[in-house]
Structure 1
Amino acid sequence: MYLARVNFYTRCAIRGVTPAWVKEILLSCTTYDSASGISGALLFNERYFLQSMEGERSLLSNQIVKIAEDERQSGLTIVAFKAISVRMYTGWTVAFAARNTQMDLLYFRYNVIGELDPVRMTLDMFDGLFSELCQIDGSYIQRSSSDGRVQSAGRPRKDILAQ
């Protein structure tokens, strides 16, 4: 068994982003814990889901197949799938790609334009974006530790949905 990391993105197939939809996805991080063997990060908006997942490579492959079959997403594009010697993530970080000064600066640092656009991102850009994302606090970010406990439970603000 080998430890691996996969970075990928999909297009969101759901139209009409609602606060309930955002909250459901933010709370999804509590379903992953050390027992699942998968850690990582998810950044999403009304157009894209960007993910970086770590774990045993067959577990990651199975998860990728499930995601590819998920009707809420389409156009799965793998940016990288590689063996790693140590995890970058200790649990899960899930974030709504809010439009505010802090997040806009982050998008600008790791993209050609100042918005979330994975089509124009390299692997280094993905890794840098996720590394910094895991250090940011905000009401649009949810985290769980390796034991599945929620570390930062923010309620999505209505103003983050107005993009």
Structure 2
Amino acid sequence: MLVRLLYASRAVDTSPAAIDAILAESRQHNPGCGITGILCYGAGIFLQAIEGGRSAVNDLYGQILRDARHQDAELLHYEEISERRFGGWTMGQVNLSRLNTSVLLKYSEKPTLDPYAVSGKVSLALLEELMATAAIIGRA
């Protein structure tokens, strides 16, 4: 059974090297577990959708909750799915520094990434738009 999980967390270390290390680990670990997804990062906040088998997704989220690089992790959305939306990515990345702020304003009160202030469905819609408008980098 496939599921999709969407969560937000705050980065403990916001250095580019720390963010790159998280992405590199995801891209190395996820294919073997059947995990696909997308990671959006901006202003110290992660918004991530992960998809795959229920056990694999639940295990990965448990690891994220215990990961000292994340704080204030919050589950935003969880659902059983019939197909993946982010199947082309072992872990795609959105570079918010190059994003038109009007896209963020479409889904929130301010032109900043704040998934804590909107519903999980709104955050998922934002990720889908970013995917559709090719704002996602790092398909590997």
Distance (Å, rounded) in 1 between the aligned partners of 2:67 and 2:52: 20
Distance 2:72 2:123 in 1: 18
2:77 is the counterpart of 1:80: yes
CA contact (8 A) 1:26 1:95 kept: no
Q: Does 1:11 align with 2:2?
A: no
Shift of 1:46: 4.0
- The answer as to whether partners of 2:9 and 2:73 remain within 8 angstroms in 1 is yes
User: Residue in 1 aligned with 2:139?
Assistant: 143
Q: Percent identity at matched positions?
A: 24
Structure-2 separation of matches of 1:41 and 1:94: 6
Point out the more displaced range, 54-63 or 44-53.
44-53
In 1: Cα distance, 2:94 partner to 2:74 partner: 20
Shift of 1:103: 3.2
Larger helix fraction of residues:
2
Tell me if 1:37 matches 2:37: no
Alignment partners' CA distance in 2, 1:75 and 1:55: 23
Q: Tell me, in whole angstroms, the C-alpha distance in 2 between the residues paired with 1:142 and 1:124.
A: 24
**Structure 2 SS opposite 1:119:** helix
TM-score when normalising by structure 1? 0.74
Report the TM-score when normalising by structure 2.
Answer: 0.84
Kindly report which structure 2 residues correspond to 1:1-163, keeping only aligned pairs within 5 A, or say none: 2-14=1-13, 17-28=14-25, 30-31=27-28, 32-33=30-31, 35-90=32-87, 91=89, 92-98=91-97, 100=98, 102-137=99-134, 141-144=137-140
Return the offset for 1:37: 0.8
Please state how far the C-alpha of 1:109 moved relative to its aligned partner.
1.1
Distance 2:101 2:114 in 1: 12
Q: Is the 8 A contact 2:41 2:94 kept in 1?
A: yes
Aligned alpha-carbon RMSD (Å): 2.1
Question: Which entry has the higher C-alpha Rg, 1 or 2?
Answer: 1
Please give the per-residue CA displacement for 1:12-36, whole angstroms capped at 9, x wherever unaligned: 112xx43433444454553232x32
| Cα contact 2:43–2:113 (8 A) shared by 1 | no
Partner of 1:155: none
